[in-house]
Structure formats: structure tokens, C-alpha cells
A = this chain, B = another copy of it.
Amino acid sequence: MHLQTADFAALERFYRRNLFNTLPGPRGLHLIGTKSHRGVENLGVFSSVVHLGAGPPLLGFVLRPLTVPRHTYHHLKAQGGHFTLNTVHPGILEKAHQTSANYPLETSEFAATGLTPLYSELLKAPYVAESPIRIGLELVEEHHIKANDTLFLVGKIIEIFVPDEYIASTGHVEHQELQTMTVAGLDTYFNNELAARLGYARP
């Protein structure tokens, strides 16, 4: 199939959404935890987290104001910019997916799905106790994507939790052991099986 710009608008709406959402392939899958100014805990599933750098450790992610309720954004602004990233494995997949339902603001997705909030002393946002990798962040920058009114948010990592036994001596986190999953589009989840760790490439 070969399509160009003029063909895109002619596609049926849900077909087009699925096509473009799944097109680039499986991507990272995370639960983002926040807390409202009234103290309600919020959890949402995201597939747009990107690594920006290791020194200082920074991650970015996309918020879609037009299609997704912006609870996550308002909450993290209300609580000192704090939010958490939590990985997803098969044992919590269905609960993680269920957090994507359109719950009202006063409902905690933790309570609604049966996931367990967990706090550290440092962060005003809840972690997911069932996630082996938990990353605590503070918002440092927001960029407005004018082309479709989405937001690209940049967070500085201020705290991490990783099970010792899954970190190699080189610093690599062993996601094949942790069964960390990926997702294509909004609904298609994948298990990741290690294919190869390749050496530093030289010309």
C-alpha cells in the first residue's frame, strides 16, 4: 500500500487513527502517576516516553490535549511538577490498560483498577507498587506543538527504584528478565524477547 497526503483525509476515521498510531511500530509503555490538588491519585497509560539524556537524566513525553482528558497535566502542575513513570509487565497488563478508561476527575484509577499506590519521602506523586521499575520526575520544560496542539513535557529524574538483581555490572537494566512490555497504537501490547546486545559500532 502506498498512500500520500491527499489520500489520508479520505480514510475512514478509526481506520486512519489505527493505521497511523500503529504504523511506526511498538514503543515504550508506561503508567504515569500524579495526584490532584485535592489529593485524588491519578494513573494513565502512555506510549510516548523518550530518553533525552543521562547527565542530567531527562525524559520527555507527549500529552494530547484534544483527545485525552488532561488530568495528568493539571495534577503535576498542582503538585510541584511531580510525576512518576512505572513500567508494565504481563501481571498488570489488564489493569494498566483499564486506566485508559475515561474516569471522572474524582475517581482514582488506582482504586478503580486495583493497582496499589506507593509513596516515597521525596515525591508528591504516587508510584505503582506492582511496577518493578519506578522513576520519579519533576517537570522542567513544556513545549507546545503548534501543528496539532499537543504538548511535549520534559521531566528531570530525581529518584529511581530498580531491583538490584536486574542491573548488569555495565549498568544495563535487564528488561527481558523484568518482562517489560511495549505497545503499538492504543491497544496492541507486546512481550519483548532479547535478540542481541551489539558492541559499539566503529567505521
CB within 8 Å of B: which residues of A? 1-5, 8-9, 11-30, 47-62, 64, 67, 85, 87, 90, 93-94, 97-104, 107, 112, 122, 133, 135, 140-141, 143, 145-148, 150, 152, 154, 156-164, 167-168, 170-173, 175-176, 180-182, 184-185, 187-203
Given A3-B159, A25-B180, A180-B26, also A197-B193 (CB < 8 A): no
- Dominant secondary structure of chain A at its interface with chain B: mixed
- Residues in B with CB closer than 8 Å to A201 are 97-101
Write the nearest CB–CB distance from A150 to chain B, whole angstroms.
5
In the complex, what residues of B have CB within 8 A of residue A99's CB?
A: 201
Copies of this chain, count: 2
Provide the bound-state CA to CA distance between A37 and B100, in Å: 45
How near does chain B come to A171, taking the closest CB pair, in angstroms? 3
A9 / chain B contacts, CB cutoff of 8 Å = 55
A200–B104 alpha-carbon span in the complex (Å): 17
Do residues A171 and B141 form an inter-chain contact, with CB atoms below 8 A? no
CB of A24 within 8 A of CB of B135, answer: yes
